[in-house]
Amino acid sequence: MNKKFLEDLIECPSPSGDEMKIQKLWIEEMKPFADEIRTDFAGNAVAVLNPDAEFKVLLAGHCDEIAYMITHIDDKGFISVTKAGGINPKLALGSRVRVYGKEMVKGVVGVKAEHKGGEKGEINVEDLIIDIGATTKDELKDIVSVGDYILYDVDYDYLRNDLLAARALDNRSGSFIVAEVLKALSKEKLNVGVYAVSTVNEETNMGGAYFAAATIEPDMAIACDVTFATDAPGSDPKKEGTVTLGGGPVLAKGAQINFKINDMLKKSAEALEMPIQLELTPRTTGTDADKMRFTGKGVPVALVSLPLRYMHSPSEVVSLKDIQNEIDLMVHMIKSMTGNENLKPLE
């Protein structure tokens, strides 16, 4: 596992709708390993192995992150925002932020002092005020403007027991994992074509996944995303299932998941003596898998997820062991494929 590459991805700003900087970083990393590098009209970055193979496997991990967008700048230079993705305004109060205008500037999210009664009741995104130290709107005209993105001013730290805390592990980790899978497979003789895709826009509309699958026309697709770990205080395993950090990759089971792909993943886990976990997705997965499934004539899909604590917060937490296990699992499965797999459930 190339931890430096993961750290670089985390540090790179990638708000949903403006992912080009991180995609360029991802492409440069993948050039030495891929037979082909492709892009598309959505902004997806695609690394390909064995492009002449008839059977095509698509691996999708989205690179975009939740963010705020500037909606208004008042006469005193205070900034109002809206959401780009499912970001929680309660967590913003008192936080430091980075505003990505014509240049990156630092700011803070204002909060009422406890001495003055503190913040009361529900906090909506319209209630947030960003202070970048300006005194007038006019002084910002060549620096920031409506539509610019704002991210939390945090990157990453390592915790005990090989845990990683960072901004936007949902889903830097997935973009990283599909890249590392392709790197490992580049050393192997394959019977299938492999298309590792760093997808865009998942947090807002999942359009990147649709463009990727519609263009590549894969025979199967696996979304690599994150899921809710239920091993921290406040979780209810009776309602949410049991998913633990360090407990292994998580396979989804539900109406949209192709059980034959899951069976292949389970066989690889058994061969590797690797623990795997299960999450239930009875209707939809809420990931790129949902969009990829409905492209073309229909694509058999699976979802392999990384257990994650504190989703959509400034400090999400995952296990490095789980990341490596997910990489190893998919490498083993794809290496084992013949290219003649029949994924029709009734055959």
> Per-domain residue ranges for the chain?
3-65+167-336, 68-152
CATH tag, 68-152: 2.40.30.40
Q: How far apart are CA 289 and CA 253, in angstroms?
A: 12
What pLDDT, on the 0 to 100 scale, is given for residue 175? 98
Contacts of 26-32 with C-beta under 8 Å, sequence gap 24+, read 26/63, 26/175, 26/179, 26/198, 29/5, 29/179, 30/179, 30/182, 30/183, 30/196
Place of tokens 């390592």: 158
* Per-residue pLDDT at 215: 97
Q: The tokens of 66 are what?
A: 């939740």
Contact 13, 149 (CB under 8 A): yes
- For residues 232 and 247, the answer to whether their CB atoms sit within 8 Å is no
Q: What is the pTM of this model?
A: 0.96
CATH classification of 3-65+167-336 is 3.40.630.10, yes or no?
Answer: yes
pLDDT at 236: 87
**Using CA of residue 126, residue 132, residue 135, residue 138, what is the dihedral sign?**
negative
Rounded to the nearest 10°, the torsion over CA 330, 332, 334, 336 is -150
Euclidean distance between CA atoms 46 and 345, whole angstroms: 29
Residue type, 17: G
Q: What amino acid is encoded at 86 in this protein? A: G
Q: Which amino acid is at 117?
A: G
Per-residue pLDDT of the chain (347 residues; tens, 9 = 90+): 899 999 999 999 999 999 999 999 999 999 999 999 999 999 999 999 999 999 999 999 999 999 999 999 999 999 999 999 999 999 999 999 999 999 999 999 998 766 656 676 789 999 999 999 999 999 999 999 999 999 999 999 999 999 999 999 999 999 999 999 999 999 999 999 999 999 999 999 999 999 999 999 999 999 999 999 999 998 888 888 999 999 999 999 999 999 999 999 999 999 999 999 999 999 999 999 999 999 999 999 999 999 999 999 999 999 999 999 999 999 999 999 999 999 999 99
HSE, CB side, 13 Å, CA atoms: give it for residue 157: 6
| Residues recognised as catalytic | 202
How far is the C-alpha of 180 from the C-alpha of 183, rounded, in Å? Answer: 5
- The pLDDT score that the predictor gives to residue 116 is 58
DSSP 3-state assignment of 317?
A: strand
> In this predicted structure, what is the pLDDT of residue 115?
62
